[in-house]
Chain A
Amino acid sequence: MSTNSMSDPRRPNKVLRYKPPPSESNPALDDPTPDYMNLLGMIFSMCGLMLKLKWCAWVAVYCSFISFANSRSSEDTKQMMSSFITHNP
């Protein structure tokens, strides 16, 4: 019936599964914030530890927090927690 195609555009036989976009270089281009913050956090924590500068250590803590908040995909919570703990002296 002609009304059928008008009323119901759904086609169950034409269902395609969702394919997550291939991990290209785009994720890195989109937003480098978490990576930069991660790196900064590591650098500052090393500085704070070696040079015994308290403010360095605090900045490192902040950097790791910011990196966590901006993390791109739903990474493992365990990985985030472990990286967070190791980077904070």
Chain B
Amino acid sequence: MEKPKAESWKRTPQTLKPRGAARGAMKTLPAFCVVLLVLWSVSEAKFDDFEDEEDIVEYDDNDFAEFEDVTEDPAPESPQRVVTTEDDEDEATVELEGQSENQEGDFEDADAPEGDTENEPYDDEEFEGYEDKPDTTSSKNKDPITIVDVPAHLQNSWESYYLEILMVTGLLAYIMNYIIGKNKNSRLAQAWFNTHRELLESNFTLVGDDGTNKEATSTGKLNQENEHIYNLWCSGRVCCEGMLIQLRFLKRQDLLNVLARMMRPVSDQVQIKVTMNDEDMDTYVFAVGTRKALVRLQKEMQDLSEFCSDKPKSGAKYGLPDSLAILSEMGEVTEGMMDAKMVHFLTHYADKIESVHFSDQFSGPKIMQEEGQPLKLPETKRTLLFTFNVPGLGNTYPKDMEALLPLMNMVIYSIDKARKFRLNREGKQKADKNRARVEENFLKLTHVQRQEAAQSRREEKKRAEKERIMNEEDPEKQRRLEEAALRREQKKLEKKQMKMKQIKVKAM
């Protein structure tokens, strides 16, 4: 063995590879056979376990199935077999052969006496080797056979799937509720629109627009934003730019919401937002509604918090029910707004009115910014906002929508009234003062920030200038630009000095 090995070392490394591979193959082959044998012996061991039970006759591939009565001899030998096969295939095969030979020997012995005494039915000698058998059987009887219950997850009955059935039932209930809720909301929206269609079409040219069509033609139907929110845009009327109606229904399509509403009843709401033309509305801020709603609005809305600093006042002075309160910029506005017809509307439909908000400084809810105040005042628009509650407190039916029609009349009336109502001279002065005050406050708050912004802008400019100068290739031009920049800076300094002098003089 050494010579060929030495020779192989002398040869080039490339030739070593195939040799090494061959050696590796040689090593893996016996290992593979060992694995196969282990598997086979394990399966055999399994069958030996079953040999104690009666339904093993089925296992035909077990050579020893026929001889299941002879349990003692093969049983202890099988673990030996498992151990020995791990060594080497040759030894294992020898062992097996030996065993099979032994077995055959037993049977030959058994056969021999049978062959001698065929005439007699039973020979005593036959039972020599089988004396153990009655004992083993009796010992078996002493050990009770325990019938183990097949665990639930192996059974094939309905009980093992109770969780799945429960969950699927829940899901089906949710889907059913989704479909029912969606349909109900859709029916309610349609009923509302059918009731109000005539009134709207007589007042607006464009009823229903989703903004996608090329031409401004009425779609004549609601714009479904959600399963519970429907929009309608109306436009083309004297004194207002347009009116956006939003039907905010309850989330009937969500089962969780339905269950939550059983604890705390809420109403469907109709929100109307009328955008007025600038020339058609004077400058005032005014709100009427339930006390709770007004308190919330005062906190949330930018304009109400700035212009209407007082708490909501009772409207009893004007004949309003106790449930309603008033928030106003000045008394004159309240006087002007609360005319007979308006009071009539508010009194009769007080239960359906959540809030009515007229404002020329409307900019939506307060924006909470992390950096602090925004640098610019938010854009304002003259708007009239109405929030109505649909009667029924959740249990609404399509016919309830008819009760909201008078409220739409109120909206139309309000639009015309807002156009007609003008503040007198005093009122106007007060209003202008208020607006100036608010703006000043805002500017003060943002002063620091604006200064910083201005500073950074100036620095940017300087940097840009310097870069331009540097980029100029012509040295002459460079010099000239530098001189110009220097001159500009000198001028600025002079101006500042002049200003300081002037302030000093004024102070004196």
Residues of chain A at the chain B interface (Cβ within 8 Å): 5, 9-12, 14-20, 25-26, 54-55, 58, 61-62, 65-66, 69-74
Contacts and interface: CB of A to CB of B under 8 A. Distances in A.
B235 A9 contact: no
A17 B275 CA distance: 13
A62 to B, nearest CB: 7
Contacts of A12: 205, 236
A46 to B, nearest CB: 19
Given A18-B210, A74-B225, A69 B236 contact: no
A10 B254 contact: no
Contact of A62 (B163, B170, B227): B170
Given A9-B203, A12-B236, A17 B209 contact: yes
A10 B204 contact: yes
A17 B237 contact: no
30 contacts: A5-B238, A9-B237, A9-B238, A10-B202, A10-B204, A10-B205, A12-B205, A12-B236, A14-B205, A14-B235, A14-B236, A14-B241, A15-B205, A16-B235, A16-B236, A16-B241, A17-B211, A17-B235, A18-B210, A18-B223, A18-B244, A54-B163, A55-B163, A58-B163, A69-B174, A69-B178, A69-B227, A69-B251, A69-B253, A73-B226
A9 B253 CA distance: 39
A70 B210 CA distance: 22
Contacts of B251: 69-70
B236 A74 contact: no
Contacts of B244: 18
B174 A65 contact: yes
B241 A66 contact: no
Given A10-B236, A70-B254, 17 more contacts: A10-B203, A14-B237, A14-B238, A15-B236, A17-B209, A17-B211, A18-B211, A18-B223, A20-B211, A58-B163, A58-B167, A62-B174, A69-B251, A69-B253, A70-B257, A73-B225, A74-B224
User: Sorted from nearest, which 6 A-B pairs have the closest CB atoms?
Assistant: A18-B233, A15-B236, A18-B209, A18-B211, A69-B254, A12-B205
A37 to B, nearest CB: 9
Contacts of A15: 205-206, 216, 235-236
Given A16-B242, A18-B210, A66-B254, A11 B237 contact: yes
A61 B164 CA distance: 12
**Majority-rule SS of B interface residues:** mixed
Interface in B128-186: 163, 167, 170-171, 174-175, 178
A26 B365 CA distance: 9
Contacts of A11: 205, 236-238
Contacts of A71: 226
Interface in B180-215: 202-206, 209-211
Contact of A61 (B171, B209, B227, B241): B171
Contacts of B174: 62, 65-66, 69
Nearest to B215: A17
Nearest to B177: A69
B256 interface: yes
Task: Tell which of A14, A19, A62 has the most Cβ of chain B within 10 Å.
Answer: A14
Contacts of B242: 16, 18
A83 B187 CA distance: 29
Interface string B238-256: 1001101000000101111
B237 to A, nearest CB: 5
Q: Name the residue among B163, B202, B204, B236 with the largest chain A CB count within 10 angstroms.
A: B236
Contacts of A54: 163
Interface string B250-275: 01011111000000000000000000
A87 B374 CA distance: 40
A73 B228 CA distance: 10
Contacts of B209: 17-18
A19 B203 CA distance: 20
Contacts of A17: 209, 211, 216, 235
Interface in B318-370: 364-365, 367
